[in-house]
Amino acid sequence: MKLLKKELRLCLHPTAYLMPLLSALILVPNYPYTVSCFYVTLSIFFICLSARENHDAAYTLSLPVARKDAVKGRVLLSCCVETAQMLLLAVFLFLKSKIGYEQNAAGMDANLALLGEAFLVYGLFHLLFFPRLYRDLNQVGKAFAVASCAVFLYIVLSVVFTYAVPFVRDTLDTPDPEHQTEKLLFTAACAVFYAAATVLSVRVSIKRFEQMDLQL
């Protein structure tokens, strides 16, 4: 918790306050709503980039903390930003339901399954971004490029699936409260994937960071 407090005070980039607010894009008709999750990953990129420019790793490791705790603190900060976005997403889902249902021609409708897609995006991002970042802290851009390409590939596929995959088209991509049980199970499964992907990402990142020759 102490390292999280340090991350919040010293590393939290201004975009981490702004990007979650783009969950409001869910109110825009015919928009790929999972793109709002990409903007949050962009804020995580800026957090890591500004940390590199401010020599945060050298400062952190000058404290009486282990390298594994430094990794956990950064990933935990990212999870906090992502959680804030998903809470806002839930709020705008509620507002959208009050405005009135409108079918989305550009991917998943504004429904419960959309939260599951957010979990998938963030889990995929964690798996690819942090292990690559902690192999070389100077290559923040390369790590983000690889992770963002995978995220956008998933976003494109998710749009295609709403037309081509019967289960997605006929069950998940429907207005609430239709097929609520299936959507809840889908979202729960995606949350499990997010948790497992984050844990695996942390373990691999710690192993790589501990092997890194960091010049303090």
Tell me the C-alpha distance between 108 and 121, whole Å. Answer: 13
Q: How many residues does the chain have?
A: 216
Tell me the C-alpha distance between 142 and 163, whole Å. Answer: 33
10 Å CB burial of residue 200 (0-12, 13-18, 19+) is middle
Three-state secondary-structure class, residue 54? coil
pLDDT at position 202: 97
Residue 68 CA: distances (Å) to CA of 58, 87, 126, 143, 211: 14, 28, 16, 19, 11
pLDDT at position 215: 59
Q: What are the domain boundaries of the chain?
A: 2-211
Tens-place pLDDT, residues 112-168: 999 999 999 999 999 999 999 999 999 999 999 999 999 999 999 999 999 999 999
Residue numbers in the chain where pLDDT is lower than 50: 216
Residue 174 CA: distances (Å) to CA of 48, 101, 185, 191, 212: 37, 10, 15, 20, 48
Q: How many CB atoms lie within 10 A of CB 138?
A: 9
pTM strictly above 0.75: yes
